[in-house]
Every structure is written in C-alpha cells, then in structure tokens.
Amino acid sequence: MNNLLDLDAPASPALATPPRANRAYLLPLIVFVIFALVPLSALWGSQSFILALVTRIMILALAAMSLDLLIGYGAMISFGHAAYVGLGAYSVAILASHGITDGFIQLAVALGVSLIFALFTGAISLRTKGVYFIMITLAFGQMLFFLGTSLAAYGGDDGLTLASRSMFFGSKFLKNDVAMYYVAFGVLLGAYLLLRAIVASRFGRVLRGIRENPVRMEAIGFAPYRYQLTAYVIAGMIAGVSGFLLANQTEFVSPAYTAWQRSGDLIFVLVLGGLGSLHGAIIGAAVFSLLADILSHYTENWALIFGPILILVVLYARGGITGLFGSKS
Amino acid sequence: MSSAPLQLQNICKNYGALRVTDDVSLNIEAGELHAIIGPNGAGKTTLIHQISGHAQSDSGRIIFDGQDVSRLPMAERARMGLVRSFQITSILPRFSALENVAIAVQARSGSSFSFFGNASKEPALNDTAMALLSRFGLAARASVPAGQMSHGEKRQLEIAIALAAKPKLLLLDEPLAGTSHDESQRLINTLQELRKELPIVLIEHDMDAVFALADRVSVLVYGRIIASGSPQSIRDNAEVRAAYLGEEAA
C-alpha cells in the first residue's frame, strides 16, 4: 500500500501539495505584510487619514471574509450579513451609553447577540433554498435596520456617537489610532487563520462538500442543515466582531450599518476579490474602498462607475482579483 | 416476522394524481442480489428514492435492519448502513477522487464537528479511501478532480464512495447507465465481487447484466410488482414477457 503510494507520489494530493501550497500562501502573506507595514508610511504623509482608511479596509475585510465562509465555502448566499456588523456596533454603543466601556464586556455581548441572532434567523432561513434564502436573509437584515431606526433612546435614524472607545484592562490605549490599527490588524489575521483552519478541517470539508452536491452528502450520511447552521453562526459572530471594531474606529453607530446596501457591498467585495479563497475578501475590500475613495474625489456619482466594473469582473474575471493571480482553494 | 434485512411493506407514492409506487411489498434477503427491472417510467428510481429516504413514502412501512426507517431522512438511513448510488452520476466534482471517497469514510469515523486539523491529511481516512480506489482500479487517478474523470470512472467512483460509507445493504440505481461495453464489463466484475459481501438491490436496464448477476428478479410495471422470482422463472413468465421483455423482442 505504502509502496504504491510512493510510486504514485505526484498523483497523491496528500503528498504532492508543497510547491503549489507555497504559492497559495504567498498572496495572503504579501497582503498581511503590507498591512503590517502601513503605519510606517505615515512617517512621510498624512498619518491619520491613511490609518483610518486602512483600518476601515481591514474591518470591511473581516466582515467580507466571514461572509466568504457562507457564500464561497457553503453556497449560502446571505443578503443580510451587515445585520451582524450592526449588532456588534450597537453592542458597543448601547453599553457605552450606559457607562459600560469595558471592551471585554462589550465584545462578549457583541458575540453573544450575534450568536443568538444567527442561531435564530439561520434556523429559519436555512429551511429555504436559492432565491428564497437570499430574500429571507435580506428580510431579517431589514428587520434589524428598522429596529435600529426606531430605537429613539439610542439616536434612532440619526445614530449614536460614542463617548469613548472601548477600554481594555482599564486602559484607553485604543484611543491611539496606531493601536486601533494594530488591534484591527491582529483580529483580521486571527480570523483569517481561524477560518483557514476551519475550511480545511473535517467540518469545513463537509461544508465544501455540501456546496458541491448536497444530495451526495446526504446519501453518505451528512445532514446538511446542522453543518450549514453552524457555519452561519460562526460567520455571524465574526461579522459581529467587525461591528465591534467599526464602532470603535468611527466612534459612531447608526442603523445605516445594517442596511441592505451594506450587505450588498459585502457581496460586491467578495465577487471583486474572488469567492472561496478568504484572502480574496481582503483584497476585494482594499480595492473596493480605495476605488470608492479615489473615485469620490472626481465625482459624487462614483457608484455609477462601480457598477460597470462589477459587470466586467463577473463577465471576464470569474475568480475575481485573486483568480487573476491563479491561486485557487 | 421475517429476518430479511430490508422489508418493504405495502409502500405507496403518489405524485399528484399519478400513483408511481403502488402497494409494493418485497423482502430483500441476506446475501442476495435482487434486481428490479421494468420499462421506462415504471417507478424504479422512485422506489429507490423511497427506500433510501430521498423521497418519503405516502404510506406503508420500510423495515431496515429490524428498525422502522419509514420516516427517517436519507442521511440517517445512510448512517444506519442503507447506502445508495444514483442513476445520474452524483459526485463532488471539484473534490479529488481520493477526497470523494475520504469524506465518505469520514462520515462513518469520528465526529465531523471538528474545526481544526487538516482533514485532507488524515492518514486513517486517506489510507482507507486509497485502498478502496485501488480496488476499483482508480489508484492512479486519486488526485484528479472527480468532475474531470471519464463517465466510466465516475460510475466506479460512485460505488467506491458508497462502499466507503460502510453499507450493510447497497441500493444501486442503474450503475451501468451510459457506460461503454468495456466499462460495463468492468463494473459487472466489480458487482460480482460485491455481491459476496453484502445484499444489493440493483436497478438495471442491461438485461445481460441482470441475468448474469441477480439471485432474484422483481418486475415493476406502473408502480406494481407483477412478478418476482429467479431469473429463469422471470424469463419464462408470460405476463412479464408481454409487459416488458416483449418490447425488446419486438
């Protein structure tokens, strides 16, 4: 048996991956090194502007990456993922408005609320398929949006300004934009490694198998629902963390964070960067945000230019930007 | 009470006004290869769907391994050892051949709610999967994405996947469909070996294969079993000849 395996060495995926795998890790490595070095660039230029922009990129990337677990690996096209960003953000703002500024408590609440909302809405949504799943996730997202607008005590439509960023161990170090930057960086890197492990694990393989062919998976004994719901909850909680970071970065929350347009942005980011690669979400978030920033200098109607770009990507670069680099998962 | 591992008791299935399975009762005995034949549209695939749990029966009972599985979903029946293949090839196209089999091994060994550790590098899963691929002559194709294999290879692979799920009884829905002469010869040889290991329900259009393989044959016409018996008795049955074999003779 072993001899046979050796003879077939190039044909055995377990043994033949190293050269390809190295290249697959190169792109995300470059991305993270660039992010790690960005604060240095501030030595030459307008520090706060660049730091804020790239921090927001990383926060957007975190939310999009969690959505990639659903769309890219689980074939669950959620159109309400911004809801979790909103839940995370409001957890910070509402607690802060009551004087609870401890970051660990806020984070625990953000995670807990996201978990409960994902478990509840996922359990219902996952009973539907295809376009109905898209619509029902959209509906749950909008439900949260309108809940936010009706929260008069917490700013309603206008949103809520944070009195201060979260405190950790009684320290206000997050007020420093470089510290804020590296916290977002650390969370993004941590989430990337976590999701990388998950998609390669036994659980992730079942999830990918369900994406490929759910009936085949049932026929060998996997009930898709439990696996999809678990992934749905994981993705929701990670997006909740991105909301926690977003509230801290902008020091402001509003129902607009949960609007369906934001859910659409997340899908746009994924399609642009490439589905099912995780780092595609990061690259997509960077290109999306930079394009929006640059284009908005020239015209107010920058979204008009975005549309055709997305169409071109869908028509000619199905794998998104990462697809152009030839790395697939 | 019969001790037959699979017992169908008066099962029915309607699609709208159309009765697709009409009061089917059948025992699959231990160690037998039971072929179900019948003209197109007789309801053979629907019957397999009902037995495997892919479709629920409207009435009647299905007893597998001494348990009433009539209301269990397909995944649960599969975990009990009631494993099927599909008439239209059903594989994971972007997974390698090895991973297609390894994930079925995974289904029956340990928890799949494990979030760490690279599943594609688990030696226990890969070794079992590789042994199965070798058995079906697919060892050299282990790393090929299943979607890129030839049709005959896919049919072999599908049986390897089914075996990896540790079946106690195998339901095969036209495993020879669309295969070339050589490919089907190879599959028939495979089935000749398999029948020694576990009971098999085989739906097949290829009459040469059916009469070469089957211990017993049941004939399904318009959702009803009109005859059941040894291959020879089926061949000689006048009603069967009229309803079914006559078509071919004509």
For the segment B145-162, the average pLDDT, to the nearest whole number, is 95
How far is Cα of residue B184 from the mean position of the Cα atoms in its chain?
Answer: 16
Burial class (CB in 10 A: 0-12, 13-18, 19+), A197: middle
- Whole-model pTM above 0.95? no
Q: Check: CB of residue A51 under 8 Å from CB of residue A177.
A: yes
Query: Are residues B204 and B20 in contact, defined by beta-carbon separation less than 8 angstroms?
Result: no
The Cα of A201 is separated from the nearest Cα of chain B by a number of Å equal to: 5
Element (H, E) at A252: strand A252-253
pLDDT for B196 equals 93
Chain B residues touching residue A206 (CB < 8 angstroms): 103, 106, 112
What's the average model confidence in pLDDT over B54-77? 96
φ, ψ dihedrals at B18, nearest 5°: -90, 120
How far does the CA of residue B239 sit from the closest CA of chain A (Å)? Answer: 35
- Is position A59 within any domain? yes
| pLDDT (0 to 100) of residue B245 | 55
Q: Is residue A109 part of a domain?
A: yes
Interface of A with B in 213-252 (CB under 8 A): 213, 215-223, 227, 230
* DSSP calls for chain B: ----SEEEEEEEEEETTEEEEEEEEEEEPTT-EEEEE--TTSSHHHHHHHHHTSS--SEEEEEETTEE-TT--HHHHHHHTEEE--SS----TTSBHHHHHHHHHHHTSS-S---SS-GGG-HHHHHHHHHHHHHTT-GGGTTSBGGGS-HHHHHHHHHHHHHHT--SEEEEE-TTTT--HHHHHHHHHHHHHHTTTS-EEEE-S-HHHHHHH-SEEEEEETTEEEEEE-HHHHHH-HHHIIIIIHHHH-
- Name which of A201, A218, A221 is nearest B114 (Cβ-Cβ): A201
Low-confidence residues of chain A, pLDDT below 50?
Answer: 1-19, 327-329
Distance CA B156, CA B135 (A): 10
Residue-level pLDDT at B110 = 86
Residue bearing tokens 């609320």: A113
Q: Judge: B103–A209 Cβ closer than 8 Å, yes or no.
A: yes
Query: For tokens 């949103």, what's the residue?
Result: A159
Spatial distance between the Cα atoms of A317 and A262, rounded to a whole number of angstroms: 23
How far B74 CA sits from the closest chain A CA (Å)? 6
Give Cα separations from B141 to B100, B147, B153, B159 (angstroms): 12, 12, 9, 15
Predicted local confidence at residue B232, as pLDDT: 92
pLDDT of residue A18: 45
CA-based nearest residue in chain B for residue A329: B94
pLDDT at A220: 96
Do the chains contact at A202 and B117, CB–CB below 8 Å?
Answer: yes
CA distance A217 to chain B (A): 8
CA atoms A297, A57, A283, A313: torsion sign: negative
Q: Are B91 and B146 in contact (CB under 8 A)?
A: yes
- The residue ranges of every structural domain in chain B are 6-91+167-249
Domain containing A169 equals 48-259
Please tell me the distance from the alpha carbon of residue B191 to that of residue A145, in angstroms, as a whole number: 59
pLDDT attached to residue A328: 47
Our count of domains for chain A comes to 1
Contact at CB, B95 and A8, closer than 8 angstroms: no
| Three-class SS state of A318 | coil
The pLDDT of residue A306 is 85
Question: At A63, phi and psi to the nearest 5?
Answer: -65, -45
Q: What is the pLDDT of residue A315?
A: 87
pLDDT at B154 (0 to 100):
95
With CB atoms and an 8 Å threshold, state whether B143 touches A11: yes
What per-residue string of b and e applies to B98-123 under the rule 16 or more CB within 10 Å gives b?
A: bbbbbbbbbbbeeebebeeeebbebe
State pLDDT tens for residues A198-255.
999 999 999 999 999 999 999 999 999 999 999 999 999 999 999 999 999 999 999 9
- Amino acid B213: pLDDT: 94
Per-chain mean pLDDT for chain B? 92
If one counts every other C-beta atom within 10 angstroms of the C-beta of residue B229, the result is: 15
Establish if A224 belongs to a structural domain: yes
Q: What is the pLDDT of residues B193-214, one digit of tens each?
A: 999 999 999 999 888 899 999 9
Name the closest residue on chain A to residue B164, using Cα atoms.
A220
Residue A4's pLDDT is 35
- The confidence score (pLDDT) of residue A318 equals 81
| Residue in the structure block whose two tokens are 């806020």 | A106
B111 CB neighbours in chain A (<8 A) are 202
| pLDDT on residue A98 | 95
A217 inside domain: yes
CA–CA gap between residue B199 and residue B194 (Å, rounded): 9
What value does the mean pLDDT take over residues B162-169?
96
Contacts with A4 from chain B: Cβ below 8 Å: 130, 134, 139
CA distance B97 to chain A (A): 10
Which tens digits make up the pLDDT trace of B209-225? 999 999 999 999 999 99
In this structure, is residue A296 part of a structural domain?
A: no
Tokens of A196: 């990388």
Name chain A contacts of B87, Cβ cutoff 8 Å: none
A228 is written with which tokens? 């999809």
Three-state secondary structure call for residue A55: helix
User: Would the pLDDT of B144 be above 50?
Assistant: yes
Going A55 to A57 to A62 to A63, the CA torsion angle's sign is positive
Question: Which of A193, A188, A205, A196 shows the shortest CA–CA distance to A74?
Answer: A205
**Contact yes or no for B141 and A212 at CB 8 A:** no
Q: What pLDDT sits at residue A296?
A: 87
User: What is the arithmetic mean of pLDDT over B219-245?
Assistant: 88
* Average pLDDT score over residue span B134-147: 95
- Residue A326 covered by a domain: no
* Residue B240 tokens, joined: 């069967």
Q: What is the ipTM of this complex?
A: 0.93
Establish if A136 belongs to a structural domain: yes
Task: Give residue A301's pLDDT.
Answer: 85
Q: What is the predicted pLDDT for the residue at B3?
A: 84
Specify the fold of B6-91+167-249: Rossmann fold (3.40.50)
Mean pLDDT, chain A, rounded, equals: 90
Q: A72 — contact with chain B (CB < 8 Å)?
A: no
- What's the pLDDT score for residue B206? 87
